[in-house]
Structure 1
Amino acid sequence: MEQPVRTFSVMQYMTSIRNKLADTPAVWVHGVITQIAEKQKVVYMSIADFAEGDVRPIATISLSCFAGQFAALRQKTENAPTPFVIKEQLKVCLLIQADVYIPFGKLQARVLDIDPVYTLGELAVTKAAILKKLALEGLLEKNKSIELPQMPLCVGLVTGEGTAAYKDFTTRLAASPFKFRVIPAFAKMQGNDTESSVLAALDTLRENSEIDVVCIVRGGGSKTDLNYFDSEALCRAVANYPIPVFTGIGHEIDKSLLDEVASVSCITPTDCAKRLVERAQESWSDLVETARRIADSTRSLLSESKQELGMAATRLQQRVTSRIQGEKTRHAVVLSTLQKDSHFLVKEELARLDRNTEGLRQGTRKILDLADSEYRLIELRVKNADPETALAKGYTLTLDKNGKFVRNASQLKSGDTLTTKFRDGTVESTVR
């Protein structure tokens, strides 16, 4: 008879595995943090390995850490020679102890320690790689090549709302003799939301065409906050920004990658505002100096022009006087000539008038006699053409029944009545 197979409950099985894992020594494991979730008592994390050029993890392990232990790890990283914050997308090397979470049957190692040296090396390599990539693409000088306006009085400001950085920056501008206009776009300047928040603020300010310059400022604080400004996305956004970008991140010693691509890098928000005031002051001084030179040149030019005009007026007066004198002489000669010619012409016209008067006196009679002779001749011609004259000479006039002269026999036909007019009477006859 077969012996019954021994069985175990799930709890017994998982507990057995847990006991076995307890004998596994703690080891150092490196990977990229893909998730951090901080609860009240426990912090849950995940780290993973990735193939180069691929965003999908090829191996992932879940981790847990008691809140107190995690606070100690964080204190350790913040006190490192180059402080940094434990956050997602950070490469870390952790000392972990294999463990299993029985309620879910999930392998979940416990984090015991962190190696800051490993992460600092990776951060340095990553930062150097980003810097090299930006340099090869010509992005380190791109924003610097944009000319800053002579009077950058309209300023776009990216900073935390109600922060000391905002107050320091605006107070310094307000204390200047120039009327700066600040257009803020508030953003989170620390923590995991720094990148997305600053990018959104830059996009907002880009829509305002009146802005002359954009300043990204934040005050002092933990050196770990500087890591958030090593973002490649932020660096590219600033490098490709259409107007100059100033940074005043608030770290006097260390420089972030964002400082490297900005048009001007300042050590504090106040220093950033000071640079703008200095630019405006230099432009104002240049303007005043230019105005002074223009005024001096104008006065000199006016003096020279006044002298030239005086000399020109003298020359003109001399020429006009000479011209007037010449014209007077010419007019006198013309007047004398006109007087002589007029006297001669008047004398000639008077003689011609006398001749015409005599001619009219003698010629009128001759004209009348000639006209009378022509009249008598016409009268004689008219008298000779009178029919009565012809009748008196023995001629007759033959008229048809209509009283018209008959000049040809072809005008008549048999039976026509004719009237023949003689000197002393008329006779009617009929044509046969």
Structure 2
Amino acid sequence: MALHTSAEAPLPIGEVSRLIGGWIDRLGAIWVEGQITQLSRRPGQGVVFMTLRDPSYDISVSVTCYRQVFDAVADVVSEGARVIAHAKPEWYAPRGQLSLRAVELRPVGVGELLVQLERLKRTLGAEGLFDADRKRRPPFLPHRVGLVCGRASAAERDVLQQARHRWPAVRFEVRNVAVQGVHAVPQVIAAVQELDALDEVDVIIVARGGGSVEDLLPFSDERLVRAVASCRTPVVSAIGHEPDSPLLDLVADVRASTPTDAAKRIVPDVVEELERVRAARDRGLRAIRSLLEREERGLAHALARPVMEHPQRMVEQREAEVDALVARSRRVLGHLLDRADSELAHTRARVVALSPAATLERGYAVLQRTGGAVVRDPREVAGGEELRARVAGGEFAVRVTE
């Protein structure tokens, strides 16, 4: 809409801002590209604020998006990264400021690859391929080590030299494959599966030197990750340098920071092991000596006890105690018998004193009627009745005359 203004009829700046906002509101969402120069993610807020800058024109535009939009790429996007945003232009009339409301963010170049890898990582992690309980510990001293690496590569040289320096008798099964490019994934998978099928191979090392993110992409391929997860032989991942972290590192049983580190983790150092054996032997000897000395002191202490110096003394003491107990028991028994005899004599004397026979001995007689009843009163008998008189010397018959 055309506006008619003049020096006599100017348009207020607020109206101009309102008109600009109305025109911008009619614009649809657009795709824009820029570099993140400022990034603000405040805890607890659902909106992320950032500034996109175009270095070619030295122009910056404020961008806002919901947190879930930014979290989708948060692992690979930070300040300084270039992104592509699908955003709707917005005009803030009170300040006269243009901003963009992003509904989708995409990293540019390597960032996009990292986003794809992050999605694959989450998918495989959800299946449990990276769980710690799936990890297997390699043997202490493998009989034969499988090595998958590039032909005449520095990784192969580092692994072989370091391993043979640590343990000269170690043996290798080397499979040279392409470690980058379109043929890398199928060749590495075939080599790993071939070594896994060999019973004499105790551990497999997949090694490659450092490189760019694109060079290391084969070792994040889903097919290779699943092939390693299905191996029955422990697998060691030695890809790139310490900062590099392909998905093979997560699924492997052991993750080595470099090929040299892989050799150190798999093959023990013969010098260190000999030193450990010597140290263990010294500890064992010291422990045995200490045990013998302690037992010797205990034996000497036991032999120094009186019972060990004069073992018969204990028998003599017990014999004396038995004799004392026997004598005591005899005295007690004699006292008991004497007291019982005295009591019996007193009882006998009392019985004799109270006995009717003793009364008869003093000249008394007992008259009994024919039925055996004792006569106590003269009125109990009649004249002419025959009675029996019992005296100390015997008995005789009597007749009542009066």
TM-score normalised by length of structure 2 = 0.43
**Structure with greater helix share of residues:** 1
